[in-house]
Structure 1
Amino acid sequence: MVEEDGPAGSPAWMATFADLMSLLMCFFVLLLSFAEMDVEKFKQIAGSMKMAFGVQNEFELEDIPKGTSVVATEFSPGQTSDTPIETIQQITDQTTDPSLRVGDGELDDAEAEELLQEKITALLAETEADAEKLKDMLEDETQTGKVDVESDGRTITVRIREQGSFPSGSATLNTDFVPVMARIRDALVEIPGTISIEGHTDSTPLRGGRYESNWGLSSSRALSVTHELLREGLLKDDRMMVVGFADTRPFTFNDTVEGRASNRRVEIVIRQGIDDAENTELDNIREINPDALDILGIE
């Protein structure tokens, strides 16, 4: 019996299989074409596979190995620049004061002028506050017209009028005025500064009496006030200075009775000036503004 051979050629399913393989190959080729190669991950995977399979290559080292990071790869170093500062700062070489900037730099004209104005304002405010304190402590005397208190720059003047203080042509204080001098003395203890006791008269010449001229009368009255202020030892001698001006510095005109009465006076002049703590700034103030000390009333 003779067996019959099957149909010639590949089976029918091979055509379908070949089509399927072609489609799969095209699919993976498309996937590969759309994919992005991550070089870092590829190197990590390749390195892991080398270690897993024992494959190690040796390369000759030419450069120092450099590490990479997200900051290094994603950010570039920026350029530094100076930041302008618009604030005014004082300069000092004392490191104990936190409110001042330590250094030896120089201020520009605008900064120096502003610092100068602040300094002048602060000093004038101190003197004005002391003058107001004197007015409060001598309120009764100022209201009755026996004493006047005024300030100008860094100078405070307590003006004692002749009315009630001295008899006409005499340098002896009235006993009724001694308590007033005691209150003035207590007030001056709390006010800093040098004290100049200055006697003044009107322009009427003296005829007879104890004093030959207005110079002697003005000086003696200033000295009497000084002796009264130095009682009790509350005020120091080195703060005092006695001056007699006679009629050379009138307060007003001498052509009326009221004017001459105003000119007969003793003035207690308190000059505060600049204390030792501020002497280091004196030269700088003169360089910035030569007229600044005139504004403050400082000689």
Structure 2
Amino acid sequence: MARKHKKHEEHENHERWLVSYADFITLLFAFFVVMYATSEANEGKQKQFEESIKLNLHLAAAKADAAGRGSILEEAMAELEAPVSGFPRKGGPKEVEDYVERSLDKSMNGEQKQKSIQDVYHDSVGVRIALAASTFFPAGSAKLKMSALNSLDKVAEVLKSHQKRVIIEGHTDDLPIEDSYFPSNWELAGGRATAVVRYFVKYHKIDPKRFLAISYGDQKPIVPNDNEEHRAMNRRIEIFIITDDKKVEI
């Protein structure tokens, strides 16, 4: 009589969840590797990519121009090149302000910018770079400090990147000055504004026809002259880049 074999019962595998868990961990690891790789900036590859885009746009614009369809591509190309190549060819004061901020951030370290640049802002006519006068001039003097020339060179590079007209404004606090050379704050503010213009023209060869030097003395404070901190804020040189010539006559 044939012996019957007992069938062994199959035990349920309670550890199958480990396979899914391992797959999940692997995918999560891969995700973070990709995120890390994409977050690492490679300036060389970025520059190569930008040049490649510009070259292809030039070729496309040339082909489109031959077919009588070049204007739209040329405008698109100009918009792309503006933030890459330098001073905005199009756009208003806000775009110019952004360019100035980027340029100064790139050329100055944090401490240098904080010490030299009081503010950068725009209005409907143009962009203003406010310099802290105490950094650039000794008290009661219109002679530029040697230690401040490097900062002024960085600002000059911004002005050399375009052909816009520029107004240099001199401002003081309301403390009276008693000096044989500067009888009042009017002369002191005007002397400082002129010194900045002269430096840009003489040492950076910027066209003098682009400049106008103005003295406001203590007549245009940005804060009340009620303490030393506020008076220091009012002692400033404002470099006013005119973005709309129709609104300002120089």
TM range (shorter): 0.5 to 0.7
Q: Structure 2 unaligned segments of length 5 or more: list them.
A: 1-67, 73-87
Tell whether the 8 Å contact from 1:161 to 1:264 is kept in structure 2 after alignment: yes
Matched, 1:200 2:171: yes
**Structure 1 residues 149 and 230: CA distance shift in structure 2, 3 A:** same
Tell whether the 8 Å contact from 2:127 to 2:241 is kept in structure 1 after alignment: yes
In the alignment, what sits opposite 2:229? 258
Task: Identify the structure with the greater helix proportion.
Answer: 2
In the alignment, what sits opposite 1:237? 208
Residues 233-263 of structure 1: per-residue CA shift (max 9 Å, x gap): 5311111001111011111111121111111
Compute the displacement of 1:163 (Å).
2.6
Equivalent residues in 2 for 1:1-299 (5 A)?
Answer: 125-139=91-105, 140=108, 143-147=113-117, 148-274=119-245
- Structure 1 CA distance, aligned partners of 2:159 and 2:69? 32
- Structure 2 CA distance, aligned partners of 1:264 and 1:210? 19
SS in 1 for 2:135: coil
Residues 86-107 of structure 1: per-residue CA shift (max 9 Å, x gap): xxxxxxxxxx99879xxxxxxx
TM-score of the aligned structures, taking structure 2 as reference length? 0.58
Tell whether the 8 Å contact from 2:177 to 2:183 is kept in structure 1 after alignment: yes
Tell whether the 8 Å contact from 1:124 to 1:154 is kept in structure 2 after alignment: no
Q: Residue type of the partner of 1:133?
A: Y
Q: Residue type of the partner of 2:183?
A: E
In the alignment, what sits opposite 1:42? none
- The two structures, once aligned, show a CA RMSD in angstroms of 2.8
> Which stretch of the first structure deviates more once superposed, 144-153 or 162-171?
144-153
- Structure 1 CA distance, aligned partners of 2:135 and 2:227? 20
SS in 2 for 1:269: strand
- Structure 2 CA distance, aligned partners of 1:159 and 1:141? 17
**Structure 1 residues 135 and 222: CA distance shift in structure 2, 3 A:** same
Length, aligned pairs only: 162
Tell whether the 8 Å contact from 1:194 to 1:270 is kept in structure 2 after alignment: yes
- Structure 2 CA distance, aligned partners of 1:252 and 1:240? 27
**Identity value in percent:** 25
**Structure 1 residues 250 and 141: CA distance shift in structure 2, 3 A:** farther
- Structure 1 CA distance, aligned partners of 2:162 and 2:92? 10
- Structure 2 CA distance, aligned partners of 1:191 and 1:134? 11
Compute the displacement of 1:136 (Å).
1.8
**Structure 1 residues 245 and 274: CA distance shift in structure 2, 3 A:** closer
SS in 2 for 1:199: strand
- Structure 2 CA distance, aligned partners of 1:217 and 1:150? 25
Tell whether the 8 Å contact from 1:192 to 1:272 is kept in structure 2 after alignment: no
Report which of the two structures shows the higher radius of gyration computed on alpha carbons. 1
- Structure 2 CA distance, aligned partners of 1:213 and 1:141? 35
Residues 196-215 of structure 1: per-residue CA shift (max 9 Å, x gap): 11101111111235311001
Residues 263-297 of structure 1: per-residue CA shift (max 9 Å, x gap): 1111111112157xxxxxxxxxxxxxxxxxxxxx6
